[in-house]
């Protein structure tokens, strides 16, 4: 199973080699409702952990997506730009927003694993 880590702001990062695949959690997409717009960061941009990196808009609200780890953007998901509803359909798979080359993979150790995130979500209800 892929190593996925989560932030309290409902971003995820899936580790693939020395890169992190970043998007919003299934919980976040359900809270937003129908996603109608996604704007990932530009390839080549250097992000610091916690920095606003992308924007996702739904029929209800616009939300910043924060970088869960530091690194350089190496790819963006053009599919979600042209069809943002993919985020609602498959947030953790095809609905990813961008990939970064991690500046320090150890940054991920400060984030919640799947069990920790599930426990965190229970505190929100």
Q: In the structure encoding, which two tokens stand for residue 41, read together? A: 């960061």
92 located within any domain: yes
Residue 2 has pLDDT above 70, yes or no: no
117 located within any domain: no
Can you give 3-35 as a three-state secondary structure string? CEEECCCCEEEEEECCEEEEEECHHHHHHHCCE
Q: Please, what is the average pLDDT of the chain?
A: 95
Q: What is the pLDDT of residues 71-97, one digit of tens each?
A: 999 999 999 999 999 999 999 999 999
For 89-93, the CB contacts below 8 A with 24+ separation are: 91/23, 91/24, 91/25, 91/26, 91/28, 91/29, 92/4, 92/12, 92/14, 92/23, 92/25, 92/26
Q: What is the pLDDT of residues 43-71, one digit of tens each?
A: 999 999 999 999 999 998 999 999 999 99
115 located within any domain: no
96 located within any domain: yes
Number of domains comprising the chain: 1
Confidence of residue 107 (pLDDT cuts 50, 70, 90): confident
34 located within any domain: yes
Q: What is the pTM of this model?
A: 0.94
63 located within any domain: yes
pLDDT given for residue 89 in this prediction? 97
- The CATH number for 15's domain is 2.40.50.100
Q: What is the pLDDT of residues 14-36, one digit of tens each?
A: 999 989 999 999 999 999 999 99
DSSP 40: P
Tell me the residue range of the domain where 14 lies. 4-107
pLDDT given for residue 63 in this prediction? 94
79 located within any domain: yes
Q: Provide, rounded to the nearest whole percent, the portion of the chain with pLDDT above 70.
A: 98
Residue 1 has pLDDT above 60, yes or no: no
């Amino acid at each position: 199973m892929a190593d996925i880590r989560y932030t309290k702001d409902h971003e995820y990062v899936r580790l693939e080699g020395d890169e992190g695949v970043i998007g919003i959690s299934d919980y976040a997409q359900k809270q937003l409702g129908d996603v109608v717009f996604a704007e990932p960061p530009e390839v080549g941009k250097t992000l610091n952990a916690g920095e606003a990196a992308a924007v996702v808009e739904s029929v209800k609200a616009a939300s910043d997506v924060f970088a869960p780890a530091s690194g350089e953007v190496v790819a963006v998901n053009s599919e979600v730009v042209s069809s943002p509803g993919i985020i609602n359909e498959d947030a953790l798979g095809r609905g990813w927003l961008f990939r970064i080359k991690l500046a320090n993979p150890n940054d991920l150790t400060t984030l919640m694993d799947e069990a920790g995130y599930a426990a965190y979500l229970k505190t929100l209800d």
